[in-house]
Structure 1
Amino acid sequence: MSEATFTFRVDETLKNEFAAAAKIRDRTGAQLLRDFMRDFVRQQQEAAEHDAWFRRQVQIGLDSAAAGDVISAEEVEAQAEIRRAETQRKLTGSAS
């Protein structure tokens, strides 16, 4: 792995407090900063992957709707009512 130097300015008090907190965890500030950077990059990659997945799902839904593959609101409500009744029956049965 090739290495590069990352230089930035930070308030002296923050730098000292960070170094002290790192020392308590038996780490150097540089080690923690590398960890934070890796975590941030990973989070951004996961967010981008989720966004791409979500956009694909929306497009699938739009394509289905455009093709006429839809369920009426009444049918959805009827199915939901069946599920609510089944859940209520289970809850009532378990309370006895």
Structure 2
Amino acid sequence: MTALSKTPELIDSKAIKPLVEARALRGATILGQPGGWAVVIRYGDAERVIAAQKSRRMRLWRHVDTAVSFIRGELHMDRFEVDAAEHDAHANEIKRPDQAERLRKQREAADYDAWFRAKVQEGLDAIERGEVVSHEEAEADFARMMDEA
């Protein structure tokens, strides 16, 4: 198989395991695609492209070495073909806006956590120095702030 000119038939990882265990795989090809690398397996007279988890789309590895690791580690094959004819690393840059948003929220949470811990430490240090505000003083300060607002 040199190129995917039509919609490929897919196979998921669960269906591959019995084929690997039965040693039914006849070959594999790392197939260059726009934006990554697909893996095509051959067994019997069939050729199937590895599907992405939880979807009915072709799984793409961003780097050829991770596709090689998959073939060697999961399919237990040391010999395979590589077809880079259709590969274009920059064609479909894989964007993960959900990942960027998750990382932004993690940074915000870490910043808030650091700020909060610093404020608590300031309070503990003030207590240790004997700088304590009585309940009445705190109520008076609060009432004064409410009157100003």
| Ranges of 4+ aligned residues in structure 1 off by more than 4 Å | 81-84
Task: Tell me which residue corresponds to 1:63.
Answer: 125
Q: Considering only aligned residues, what root-mean-square deviation do their CA atoms show, in Å?
A: 3.2
Q: Percent identical across equivalent pairs? A: 35
Q: Which has the larger radius of gyration?
A: 2
Match of 1:51 among 100, 110, 113: 113
TM-score by length of 2: 0.36
Q: Which blocks of at least 5 consecutive residues in structure 1 are unaligned?
A: 16-27, 91-96
Give the letter for the 1:69 counterpart. E
Distance 1:8 1:54 in 2: 41
Give the letter for the 2:54 counterpart. V
Match of 2:141 among 66, 79, 88: 79
Distance 2:52 2:111 in 1: 30
Task: Tell me which residue corresponds to 2:62.
Answer: none
Task: Tell me which residue corresponds to 1:37.
Answer: 99
TM-score by length of 1: 0.52
| Structure 2 SS opposite 1:76 | helix
The structure that is strand-richer by fraction is: 2
Compared CA separation, residues 35 and 55, structure 1 to 2 (3 A): same
Aligned pair 1:9/2:9, yes or no?
no
